[in-house]
Structure 1
Amino acid sequence: MEQPNPANPFGDVFKLLEQFKLPGFDVPAIMEARRKDVEALVTANQTALQGMQSLAQKQAEMLRSTLGELQSLATKVSAAGATPSAQTAELVQQSLHKALADMQQLAQAAYKSQAESYAVIAKRVEENVEELKTLLQQKK
């Protein structure tokens, strides 16, 4: 048995369908449309994966930054040997505001990634509609 070609996973299916010559069915056009569907899904998945990786990297950077700031603050307070002051409270508040701003950036990055993935799928759906219209017009 011959090995499937990873570059063309539809080759075997195409050969099988060509054996059955059905009137009104353009097998090459149907197979090409399905190939494009799979390519669109792969592209959407790659876009989503890249977005998730970017999001994870940003989260790690934010966590390191926040922990570094809090560690620095704790070191300063313990070195002074005094109880936390109003300045310490202000620094903690600033850290919290920064963390909130970072979370907003993460939400925006996630939204952008989802929007890009959706755009790939929506484009392919639109192409499917156009292909169907073309096929229906050819039959008239």
Structure 2
Amino acid sequence: MTKNPFFDIDFTKIAADYKIPGLDVEALVSAQRRNIEAITAANQLAFEGLQAVGRRQAEILRQTLEETAAALRDAVAQGTPEEKLAKQTDLAKQAFEKALSNMKELADLLAKSNQDAASVISARVTASIDEVKSLLANIKK
């Protein structure tokens, strides 16, 4: 992988060359570093949430296949055509209800993951606004 020369730049030196009175360049660079850390943390939470959803989907698939195999064994069991039809109708209803329940569970997992990631960004935006206010107050002095 090629090295990105952008990361070799020392932004504190570049900003210090502009010599804006009262501007704390180190605080500005530090704030940006915390912004990047917050984005990284939010991405990590989102990734972990997607992994959890993927694991749960695999569990649901395994469970569904096992239940389907059991249902097929029961469906071919002896009985009158009316009994088989009633059993098949009941199985279809149960499968539909289970599918809805599973979809809701997966949607809830995704919503929680998104909420966790968004709360990290939201907290950082709030802190960043406070930092900018503080920096601006120091410039005015």
TM range (shorter): 0.7 to 0.9
Q: Deviations over 1:73-92 (max 9, x none)?
A: 11222343865330232122
* Aligned counterpart, 1:123: 123
* 1:66–1:114 distance in 2 versus 1, CA, 3 Å: same
Q: Normalising by structure 1, what TM-score?
A: 0.82
The one-character-per-residue Cα deviations of 1:22-74 (angstroms, maximum 9, x if unpaired) are 12332211110110010000000000001100111111111111121111111
Distance 2:132 2:39 in 1: 19
How far apart in 2 are the matches of 1:114 and 1:65?
26
The answer to whether the Cα contact below 8 Å between 1:44 and 1:120 also exists between their aligned partners in 2 is yes
1:60-139 to 2 correspondences below 5 Å: 60-80=58-78, 83=81, 84-139=84-139
- Work out which of the residue numbers 16, 19, 24 in structure 2 matches 1:22: 19
Of 71-80 and 9-18, more deviation after overlay is shown by 9-18
> Could you tell me the percent identity over the aligned residues?
34
Q: Which runs of 5+ in 2 are unaligned?
A: none
Conserved? CA contact 2:42–2:120, under 8 Å: yes
Q: 1:19: how far off? A: 6.1
**Count of paired positions:** 134
CA RMSD of aligned residues (A): 2.4
- Does the residue aligned with 1:85 lie in a helix, a strand or coil? helix
2 CA distance for matches of 1:47 and 1:81? 52
With a CA cutoff of 8 Å and minimum separation of 6, indicate the structure with the bigger relative contact order: 2
2:115, 2:43 → 1: CA distance?
A: 12
The 8 Å contact of residues 42 and 121 in structure 2, kept in 1 or not, is answered as yes
